[in-house]
Amino acid sequence: MVVRYLFAVLLASAFLQPLNAQPNLQFKRIEVMYPTIRLAYKVTCDGAFRNDTQPQHFEVYENGLKMKDVTLWCP
């Protein structure tokens, strides 16, 4: 009986561990000058600013189709 109780407690504690949060993406400005679209954004994770974003971290879709010609530029 004690073994079952300990196993249940250990199992519950394993599932109650905090999960890693997804980064929060906030758009600051959107400019459309066809065919170029510029997005100014801020990425935070658990409230901390992140400036290590890479092009492979983003996917851009237009009308449900993934765009292949996308440039990530950080001044």
- Residue by residue, pLDDT tens for the chain (75 residues) are 666 666 666 666 656 555 566 788 888 888 988 888 888 888 888 888 888 888 788 888 888 999 888 887 766
Is residue 31, in this structure, part of any structural domain at all? yes
Is residue 32, in this structure, part of any structural domain at all? yes
Cβ atoms of residues 52 and 45 within 8 Å: no
Handedness of CA 32, 34, 63, 73 (dihedral sign): negative
Which pLDDT belongs to residue 56? 82
Is residue 12, in this structure, part of any structural domain at all? no
- What's the CA gap between 35 and 33, in Å, rounded? 6
Quote the number of domains for the chain: 1
Write down the residue that tokens 């440039």 correspond to: 71
**pTM, full prediction:** 0.54
Which pLDDT belongs to residue 65? 92
Is residue 10, in this structure, part of any structural domain at all? no
Structural domain that includes position 63: 19-75
Is residue 42, in this structure, part of any structural domain at all? yes
